Structure 1
């Protein structure tokens, strides 16, 4: 049973003995397209997690906390609801950028358990997490904007550049729209582990429990370190603007 009644997501605690550990499951149809409603639901879930963490006893907060996101079926997320995004522009993109910023600097470790394809905006969503575990037997993670003829706005490019390195992998990701299977993504260094589907949830929980003690006592230190680690990326995400390449318009 979900901890809170929010549309399009399901928030649970997978281990009653570890109340600072949460799993957020996306549930927006078979493709988990990122809509404004899904963005709102994810942000509400993050608010609720914050409230739960603030209410933990001293004994439970000493264990720290962590967040796993995942989905079911063929897709982790097949990206943005692109027709809506193209139609309303900043009113769509800025909430998406805000959500990525929130995840990128979230107060506890975050693990994306990538159960299937993660394309475009879904790839960005996965990259906003601290760690990524991916299903080995099925699914690709890719930025396919160049193939569908949509340029990246500055914040979108920034989050990919922050997580996909070195330059040859970034080039293949953004200019080649390479579909990385799990083993390729692990070799490229932006997915941490590839496992069979049956092991995905348990592996993500193992990562989360191993990382959670870094936030013991739930002080703001973990959040603040991430905020400085990704300062430039977050600044780009929060700056707004949907004009790719505008800085070279006078060249």
Structure 2
């Protein structure tokens, strides 16, 4: 059942018997670039989900909730609309980092169903989810800023660092722009499962339904735990810092 249908996103309820479960489909062209409009529409969808969750009572609230994001075609997301980002600077980066912070701490479990390539900003968006399921037969997840000559601002570096825990894999990811196929990303520990394309959404739904009871009653506990375990990352995302290496001036 469709809940929101905007130009660049569609929010649906994939299971009528589970009103706290949501599927957010991103639809911004073939590459699914992250634009200011897409950021705005994602935030609108999260606002809608918050309101819907607050309205649930009884057995519906007891089931908890979860959110899956995905897209279609070759790309989950090919990153930021970089020309726009470079042109308008903070007016682009600050809303993007606010969106990442909100996804990172969202009140219900989040699952990225990565249907294709997830590069740069698209990789960051996927990493902002609690769990990641990736198509096994096609697609890479990568941070390729080093290859296009763009430094990582503090919040962006922080969100990669908080999810890619193995130091050698973090090094390969951000300094080597390594393109991780699904099986490699699973082995590196930042993608949870690699599956065939035909199984992607069903697997994401399995994760979502298994995790949703952790938010039964839809109390703020799940959100508050995430805000604390990711405190340092969220602080950097929301601090407004967009000057890479600025802290070095104090040394």
State whether residues 144 and 177 of structure 1, in contact with CA within 8 Å, keep that contact through their aligned partners in structure 2. yes
The TM-score normalised by the length of structure 2 is 0.99
What is the Cα deviation at residue 209 of structure 1? 0.1
Find the aligned partners of 1:198 and 1:106 in 2 and give their Cα distance: 27
Q: Partners in 2 of 1:159 and 1:123 — Cα distance?
A: 10
1:5 Cα deviation (Å)? 3.4
Report runs of 4+ in structure 1 exceeding 3 Å deviation.
none
Distance 1:5 1:111 in 2: 20
SS at match of 1:244: coil
Of stretches 53-62 and 42-51 in structure 1, the one that deviates more from structure 2 is 53-62
Counterpart mapping for 1:155-234 below 5 A:
155-234=155-234
1:147 and 1:4 mapped to 2: Cα distance?
A: 37
The gaps in structure 2 that reach 5 residues or longer are none
Unaligned runs of 5+ in 1: none
Contact residue 6 and residue 45 of structure 1 kept, 8 A:
no
- Between the aligned partners of 2:169 and 2:189, the Cα distance in structure 1 is 9
In 1, the alpha carbon distance for the partners of 2:13 and 2:5 equals 14
Q: What's the CA shift for 1:250?
A: 5.3
Q: How large is the Cα RMSD of the aligned pairs?
A: 0.8
SS in 2 for 1:4: strand
1:44-55 superposed matches below 5 A = 44-55=44-55
2:91 equivalent to 1:95: no
Give the Cα separation in 1 of the matches to 2:25 and 2:5: 13
Q: Encode CA deviations 1:94-153: one digit per residue, 9 max, x unaligned.
A: 000000000000000000000000000000000000000000000000000000000000
1:59 Cα deviation after fit:
1.1
Partner of 1:113: 113
Using the TM superposition, give the Cα deviation of residue 6 of structure 1 relative to its aligned residue in structure 2, in angstroms: 2.4
Deviation at 1:20, TM superposition (A): 0.4
Question: What secondary structure is seen at the aligned counterpart in 2 of 1:16?
Answer: coil
Give the whole-Å Cα distance in 2 for the aligned partners of 1:58 and 1:52: 14
